[in-house]
Chain A
Amino acid sequence: MSDSRSLPRRDFVRIASGVSLGAGLGLRPGDLFASIDTPSEDAPNVVEVSLSIDRGGFNVDDRHSDAPMIGGSVPGPLLRLREGQDAVIHVTNNLDEVSSIHWHGLLLPFDQDGVPGFSFDGIPPGETFTYRFPVRQAGSYWYHSHSGTQEQEGMYAPIVIEPAGEDPVRYDRDYSIVLSDWTDEDPMTVLRNLKGNGAYYNYAKRTLPQFIGGLFDDAGKTVRDRTMWGEMRMDPTDIADVTGSTYTYLLNGTSPAANWTGLFKPGERVRLRFVNAAAMSFFDVKIPGLRLTVVQADGQDVEPVRVDEFRIGVAETYDVVVEPEAGEVYTIFAQSMDRSGFARGTLAETEGVEGDIPAIDPRPVRTMADMPGMEDHSGHDMDRMADDHDMSAMEMEMDHAAMGHSGDTMDLRRLTYEDLQALEPNPDTREPTRDVEIRLTGDMERYFWTLNGQKFSESDPIPLTVGERVRLRMTNETMMEHPMHLHGVFMELQNGAHPAFAPRKHTVIVPPNQTVEVHLTYEDSGPWAFHCHLLFHMMTGMFARFEVAPAMNADESVSP
């Protein structure tokens, strides 16, 4: 497992074995990824990696946790693979509880997918499980525990898979940027707090003085508005269930204060591989002063789109290319969707410098249109996501820009799902022959979440067949965005692009009161998990089993 094949344009630390990577080298966790990149000349097609899971101290600023970690760091080591290789990954669980590793977004046999109860029984304490799968794709992905709350505690890490052929993306240097949310509270305590009070972490509720102020502005509207929300027993300020009141938002395991820094040389094209490994937090990401060229979504190449900002839902990935200029210091600014905090890092030519930290944007609030049943689901579903600010927030933002805070906020261009278009046509463009309707449901007050009104433990598997062309429609009847993740297949997002170029995603955000349609064709049989990737939504029931049977006959398995 020697590191004989070096990739000079990459800046990663390379290590022969995956055991206790960061700690052993005295790296600050997340400071720099330990990259596992071990194709050998003898067997160039097999990559063999060992990972261990251990519990250890993890500090964020002055707070401390005892966290399960992969390879001794948070995030765990970067796993660098090459398309066409056979991966052999030994995972040793040194915890005193069952653990697992799920390869998020990777197409592989179901028994290598790492979901306890689906793929296997999990990795018992003290045991080693060896994953073996062919690497059938390229792109940026991630891996994480699929057991209990280990993911929230720190068990997540990035994956980069180099394409077998030429990479359509031209870049000189790349960094994985892993965003996450971290708390020193026991995640089960967080969930318990939410069970006792769904608004436990919401410190941005509407107040009586705001109501009285509203009466002076427009009494009728204010009363109608409060009445509607009150009648529904819903809260327009409920943007995130868990907020910066307990979370510190991390970038590559590093707090905003500790400031992760990625170096560049002037003239370089830098590829930033963003992964949202948070348990419960969406981020809006921007790098003031730099245009972001989005080149990949969920590991799949897309037509490049130039934007100033993008929203990344839990478990999504976006790759962007930037061209930083000499003498400049740039701040990577990822504010949580509810604006209760941010993660930040720096792009600079030298260590130890920092750029301006932008002001946090106004909080979005839910509008009537987000209320289930308040509006029909047709039309421009996708663009609402980006502009769900209420009018006052919009106005504030405009004022902000007008005051010239940073010259170009006025025409700040946000990525929407409608901007995404696959670079290469999808292999299967048949019309779906099978419809699956799933309603996203739940009770914020009681704090549990369901699909079609049922918890996973109450639900029946959804039967599908390999090769069957499926139309999956997800209708969100709740007030929250749900990042829905389907294992074992890519979902082709029907976003108005030509179906052949529908972007392929492993995780799709379904906004409140909207329906999102995806098409898909399974190539691998097995039980596959489908769930909301908000950890506490998943844990309380927002989970289903897709039971994909092998193709009955040759005709059905045709995928042109």
Chain B
Amino acid sequence: MALLSVLLAGSAEGQEMDNGVFHFSQLEVDASRIEGSALNRWDGSGWIGTDFDRVWWSTEGEYADGSLGSVEAMALYGHYFRRFWDVVVGYRQDIEPTAQGYLAFGLAGLAPYWFEVGAFGFISQEGQPSVRLEADTDLFLTQRFILTLGGELDWLLTDDDRLDLDRGIAEVELGLRTRYEIRRKFAPYFDLSWIRERGRLEAGVGSVTESALRVGIGLRLVY
């Protein structure tokens, strides 16, 4: 693979190395409370590759009382096809609450007004399509005290028997996160999110919609 040969060529020597392999990883872990009960969460993402071709990965999950809540992981190949944008294709695996694999594809990049945006389509192993939109932007209160506004929406395009959900919006999350960058790579944060989701709060019962506020404190680590 071209990627591997570039990787093996080692540190930059000569100009042919102008598209070398770099990597970026970010992990956020926090302790939250939702509707009075404790919930711990992680959210990791990153990439490895050249400026034009990268493998993007992400994982997010929850656990409480020693057991896992929802957990998913995703690995995507991304190609830079125009300024600010990557087209991505890959695989998503849900581990909890229902183990399920998906074909994943979409667009990721920086939209005008500094919104980091992801728009993904998924086809589950049962053949059911869904869509996810996510966006966030940073507002600088000071140079190190930074407010992130974020939102995510999951939308089932057909009924999903496996998840026991009717089609429609499955989940909406709006978040307000304030972090303090002690260093760029080390930032404690305070998180306040509003979540509206179906089915998951009372698993097994379809079409139950509940909203909740979640508050948490956590740590962002960048490598």
Contact = CB atoms under 8 A, between A and B. Distances in A.
B140 interface: yes
Contacts of B143: 203-205, 207
B14 A540 contact: no
Given A208-B147, A233-B110, A197 B184 contact: yes
Contacts of B140: 205-208
Interface in B8-45: 11-19, 22-24
Contacts of A148: 11-13
Contacts of A446: 51, 80, 84
Residue among B15, B23, B80, B184 with max Cβ neighbours from chain A (10 Å)? B15
A529 B15 CA distance: 10
B222 interface: yes
B192 to A, nearest CB: 17
A188 B112 contact: no
Interface residues of B, number: 29
- Interface majority SS (helix, strand, loop, mixed), chain B: loop
Given A205-B140, A455-B18, A230 B113 contact: yes
Given A195-B24, A445-B84, A457 B11 contact: no
Nearest to A194: B22
A445 B116 CA distance: 11
Contact of A455 (B19, B113, B139, B222): B19
A232 B139 CA distance: 17
A339 to B, nearest CB: 14
Interface string B121-161: 00000000000000000011111100100000000000000
Given A230-B113, A445-B110, A147 B13 contact: yes
B84 to A, nearest CB: 6
Contacts of B83: 443
B114 interface: yes
A543 B139 CA distance: 35
A448 B51 contact: yes
A233 B82 CA distance: 14
Contacts of A207: 140-143
Given A207-B140, A230-B114, A443-B84, A196 B222 contact: yes
Contacts of B17: 539
A457 B142 contact: no
A231 B11 CA distance: 36
Interface in A443-457: 443, 445-448, 455-457
Interface of B: 11-19, 22-24, 51, 80, 83-84, 110, 112-114, 139-144, 147, 184, 222
7 contacts: A148-B11, A188-B12, A227-B113, A231-B113, A233-B113, A445-B110, A543-B15
Given A188-B11, A205-B140, A209-B142, 18 more contacts: A117-B14, A148-B11, A191-B22, A195-B22, A196-B222, A200-B184, A203-B144, A207-B141, A208-B139, A208-B147, A230-B112, A233-B112, A443-B84, A445-B84, A448-B18, A457-B16, A538-B15, A543-B18
